[in-house]
Amino acid sequence: MSSFAPLSKGDGSNDAAQYTKFDAADAEFFKGIGTIPYKPDAGPTETLVYKHYNAKEVVRGKTMEEWLRFSVCFWHTFRGTGADPFGFPTLVRPWDDGSNTMENAKRRLRAGFEFFTKLGVKYWTFHDRDIAPEGETLAETNKNLDEITDLALELQKKTGVKLLWATCNLFAHPRYMNGAASNPDAHILAYAGAQVKKGLEIAKKLGAENFVFWGGREGYHTILNTNVLTELTNMANFFRMAADYKKKIGFTGTLLIEPKPKEPTKHQYDYDAMTVIGFLKHFKLENEFKLNIEPNHTTLAGHGYEHDIVMASAFGLLGSVDSNTGSPDLGWDTDQFPMDVKNATLVMKTIIEQNGLQPGGLNFDCKVRRESTALADMFISHIGAMDTFARGLRNAAKILEEGVMTKHVKKYIMDNGNPTACSGQQEHCEAMLNYYV
Ligand code: XUL
Ligand code: CO
């Protein structure tokens, strides 16, 4: 999220008419790009087609669409500007005038639904502050949210696109610099509570299938000014109140916590899957929450790509996936589109083994590189990732169908029950996996 406005061309052409033409009911935002077709025989240079993702193809009793439940995130794809700590925005979106107005917010939303529809993705996700501008008071902010979610509901009905999850941005505003649920100032904690109350209400209104908590500022930079047990207890109480309010209003979506070890705080309380599972069990919240796992966060925690997905699933708590990747050679959250077939295969194997993610899905919490400035790049990036996961699904289905790899683990245990030194056969297992990817 950035306060930088999109680039002005600086040639006087950025006048109001340039944007207001997108207010027309029949305005098309992505001219020249139609619905993305499935074309399995396409060559390497054709990147605006699906070569592997065939939505209605049945794999192990479910369609690809049902297994994969792809979702586009609104924050990166419609609020990302390409700004980074060293540079100004690079991404010009012709409908976005960079203003904090409701008109601009509505244009972005309508551009979003055209994008989801042309891509053929059935779900979207957002933070409250991505979709509607924050007002001077909470009442004004909530009024903006009411108006925008009326439009979102209308667009959802018209397109059939559904809300995978909503979340509250409890980290960008300066009021949250010392945390939201874990903030030592009760006034701020109360503000966060009021924000989540509204968040759950709009989630219900839009039929969200889940609701996510990512604790961006819940953690510490130095232990010297922090009472960790008080903060963790306050967080648990906050989560309990959210779970109670969910029941009170009859919202049926699953509540999800998204682990991340660091960034923006030096140490985040929701460090990784096992930390969150331990927290939930300690505070007796494990029946109210599941986990939303983002592999870029997993690798930042020093684990292998699929580790948190496997751990959360093993405890019956894998709710959804923020499907992305980092660069393992970097130490920060690059939110890249997942393009590694082997990683996708391992993730999909776990997902098939737990019989799917529903009501969760694969949400692309990913951003195009700031150098990828063309509108077509928004499509190409998602298509590439969807094809990667379609291949992962096919590979994982084959692994499970043939059973060679799973039988190998079972047979090994039977044949080697006696705990004497014997080969773990890692290389043999790796060679078998490579046969499938
Ligand atoms: C931050 C992150 C968030 C959450 C939602 O790293 O992943 O976008 O997914 O707040
Ligand atoms: Co995420």
pLDDT tens, position by position, 120-170: 999 999 999 999 999 999 999 999 999 999 999 999 999 999 999 999 999
Q: Is the dihedral of CA 273, 293, 257, 366 positive or negative?
A: positive
Kindly give the number of the ligand 1 atom that is closest to the alpha carbon of 216: 1
Which residue has the least CA distance to atom 8 on ligand 1?
365
pLDDT at position 424, please? 83
126 CA from centroid of ligand 2 (Å): 11
pLDDT at position 8, please? 56
pLDDT at position 68, please? 99
391 CA from centroid of ligand 2 (Å): 23
Kindly give the number of the ligand 1 atom that is closest to the alpha carbon of 292: 9
224 CA from centroid of ligand 2 (Å): 29
Active-site entry in 127, 297, 303, 382: 127
376 CA from centroid of ligand 2 (Å): 23
Residues whose CB falls within 8 Å of the CB of residue 276, separated by 6 or more in sequence, listed in order: 257, 259, 270, 291
pLDDT at position 13, please? 55
Distance of alpha carbon 391 from alpha carbon 218, whole angstroms: 37
The three-state secondary structure class of 212 is: strand
Question: Among all ligands shown, which has an atom nearest to the Cα of 333?
Answer: 1
Kindly give the number of the ligand 1 atom that is closest to the alpha carbon of 76: 8
Residues near ligand 1 (Cβ within 6 A):
127, 167, 212, 214, 258, 260, 294, 322, 333, 365
Q: Report the percentage of the chain scoring pLDDT > 90.
A: 89
Distance of alpha carbon 277 from alpha carbon 266, whole angstroms: 21
For residues 188 and 177, the answer to whether their CB atoms sit within 8 Å is no
DSSP symbols for 131-180: HS---SSHHHHHHHHHHHHHHHHHHHHHH--EEEEEE---SSSGGGTT-S
Question: Position 170: which residue type?
Answer: L
Question: Among all ligands shown, which has an atom nearest to the Cα of 263?
Answer: 1
Kindly give the number of the ligand 1 atom that is closest to the alpha carbon of 212: 5
pLDDT tens digit string along 276-294? 999 999 999 999 999 999 9
335 CA from centroid of ligand 2 (Å): 8
Residue environment code for 129-154, b if the CB has 16+ CB neighbours within 10 A, otherwise e? bbbbbbeeeeeebbebbeebbebbee
- The beta-strand segments (E) located in 314-390 are 318-322, 362-364
Distance of alpha carbon 214 from alpha carbon 218, whole angstroms: 9
pLDDT tens digit string along 341-369? 999 999 999 999 999 999 999 999 999 99
pTM score of the predicted model: 0.94
Which residue has the least CA distance to atom 10 on ligand 1?
214
Which residue has the least CA distance to atom 2 on ligand 1?
214
From residue 199, give the alpha-carbon distance in Å to each of 49, 132, 215, 287, 312: 36, 12, 15, 21, 25
Residues whose CB falls within 8 Å of the CB of residue 260, separated by 6 or more in sequence, listed in order: 214, 215, 216, 268, 270, 271, 294, 297, 300, 301, 333
- Annotation says 221 is catalytic: no
pLDDT tens digit string along 35-78? 999 999 999 999 999 999 999 999 999 999 999 999 999 999 99
pLDDT tens digit string along 399-426? 999 999 988 877 666 777 777 778 888 8
Q: Which of 322, 325, 336, 367 to mutate to test the pocket of ligand 1 (most atoms within 8 A of CB)?
A: 322
Average pLDDT over residues 101-109: 98
